[in-house]
Amino acid sequence: MLMRTDPFRELDRLTQQVFGTTAGTWSKPAAIPMDACRAGDEFVVRFDLPGVDPEAIELDVERNVLTVKAERRPLESKDTVEMQVAERPFGVFSRQLFLGDTLDTEQIKADYDAGVLTLRIPVREQAKPRKIAISRSSAEPKTISA
């Protein structure tokens, strides 16, 4: 199970909607948008990282905290370029997830395709749902007469 404990995330999102996002270099690490779902015996987490070179993505797990850090660099041009519109932010983006004890952080698989980083985090064996057999007692039910 993933745990979400960032109470300021919604406040940041609301502020961005009201005031708009700032173009250019971010003054602080920007949050990476993500989706997370459970698919069978694993959690699948997808992060949007368009325009980020896979070499500029770092994944770290320390205890139960997964940190994704990526950097989008401005396009380099040999010619002098005069920007007319610059709305695509560049700089450092980061996101931390607090992973529950039921997830196996030793077996995380990562894949990057078309600007989306996909992580597959398996559920530990002892945390998987299982059926418990119920045995019948050997004694016959007693009948009470009135």
This prediction has a pTM of: 0.67
Compute the Cα dihedral for 32, 71, 115, 83 and give only its sign: positive
CA 9 to chain centre: 14
pLDDT per position as a tens digit, 63-116? 889 999 999 888 777 778 887 887 778 889 899 999 988 899 999 999 999 999
> Which token pair is 27?
């003054």
The yes-or-no verdict on residue 4 having pLDDT over 60 is no
* CA dihedral angle for residue 25, residue 30, residue 33, residue 36, rounded to 10 degrees: 150
Q: How far apart (Å, rounded) are the C-alpha atoms in residues 5 and 8?
A: 9
Q: Which two tokens stand for residue 139?
A: 């004694």
Q: Are 29 and 93 in contact (CB under 8 A)?
A: yes
- So what's the pLDDT on residue 22? 47
Report pLDDT digits (tens) over 20-50: 554 444 444 567 899 999 998 999 999 999 9
Residue 27, CB-side half-sphere exposure with 13 Å CA sphere: 2
Tens digits of residue pLDDT in 7-25: 565 666 566 656 655 444 4
Residue 56 backbone phi and psi in degrees, to 5: -100, 15
